[in-house]
Amino acid sequence: MMSQKAKKQYKILYALVTKKHSLSSLSEETGIPKTTVSRQIRKLQQDFFMKIVCLSGEEGNLKRGYLFITDWGIINQNAFLKRYGEERTALRPQRY
């Protein structure tokens, strides 16, 4: 069974690779409070040597910072996406 911390980190990573996110939109997408998202990103960087950076961009008249994974550190990106993507698909309700 996966720990709550690991579940949060997986949600954050999966959200970052599937869509462009600011800290606020990442929090909304995952249902994880912004302070917790920030803390989990720091832990991913410290524990797994990942590089997650905030790059500025513009959306309409607004300037925003978007989070990107630039280095997966010791995590195998392909294995993560395959495994976590399959788990997410299995957890989705079936539509008939």
The 10s digit of each residue's pLDDT in 49-66 is 999 999 887 666 666 789
Of the candidate ranges 22-31, 35-44, 78-87, the one whose mean pLDDT is the lowest? 78-87
Quickly state the pLDDT bin for 31 (edges 50, 70, 90): very high
| Strand-pair category, 51-59 with 62-71 | antiparallel
Question: CATH class for domain 4-91?
Answer: mainly alpha
Average pLDDT, the chain: 86
Give the residue among 69, 76, 56 at the shortest CA–CA distance from 18.
69
Taking the alpha carbons of 1, 44, 22, 70 in that order, is the dihedral positive or negative?
negative
68 and 53 in contact (C-beta within 8 Å)? yes
